[in-house]
């Protein structure tokens, strides 16, 4: 899960794990579009490359809560 408020839009994660992250053009922030879209070591590399540490693993229940809270959020 990407905390889009903290994300600075550097694109590192989306460059490393292209099957998992994309850059939202309107917000200029990264977002996960496919959970587990890359091998775990590639996803971990993407997490490690984030300069502001705003990518975290969350369980499904928390993910659903976070995604519902994000709806309508304007950055
Ligand atoms: Fe945002 Fe971190 Fe991805 Fe950079 S690496 S785009 S700061 S989530």
**C-alpha distances in Å from residue 30, one per residue of 10, 17, 74:** 9, 11, 14
Q: Report how far ligand 1's centroid is from the alpha carbon of 10 (Å).
A: 5
Cβ–ligand 1 distance for 54 under 6 Å, the answer yes
Mean local confidence (pLDDT), 3-27: 97
pLDDT tens figures, 23-47:
999 999 999 999 989 999 999 999 9
pLDDT of residue 75: 81
pLDDT tens figures, 47-61:
999 999 999 999 999
Spell out the domains of the chain, with CATH numbers in brackets.
12-70 (3.30.70.20)
Q: Report how far ligand 1's centroid is from the alpha carbon of 21 (Å).
A: 9
Position 74 confidence tier, pLDDT thresholds 50, 70, 90: confident
Is 21's pLDDT higher than 90? yes
Cα three-residue angle 71-42-19, rounded to 5 degrees: 50
**C-alpha distances in Å from residue 36, one per residue of 18, 21, 28, 30, 58:** 11, 10, 22, 15, 12
Cβ–ligand 1 distance for 50 under 6 Å, the answer yes
Is 72's pLDDT higher than 90? no
């Amino acid at each position: 899960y990407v905390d889009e408020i903290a994300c600075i839009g550097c694109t590192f994660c989306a460059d490393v794990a292209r099957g998992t992250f994309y850059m939202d053009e309107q917000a200029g922030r990264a977002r996960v579009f496919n959970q587990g879209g890359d091998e775990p070591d590639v996803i971990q590399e993407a997490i490690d490359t984030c300069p502001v540490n705003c990518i975290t693993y969350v369980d499904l229940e928390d993910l659903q809560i976070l995604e519902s809270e994000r709806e309508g959020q304007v950055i």
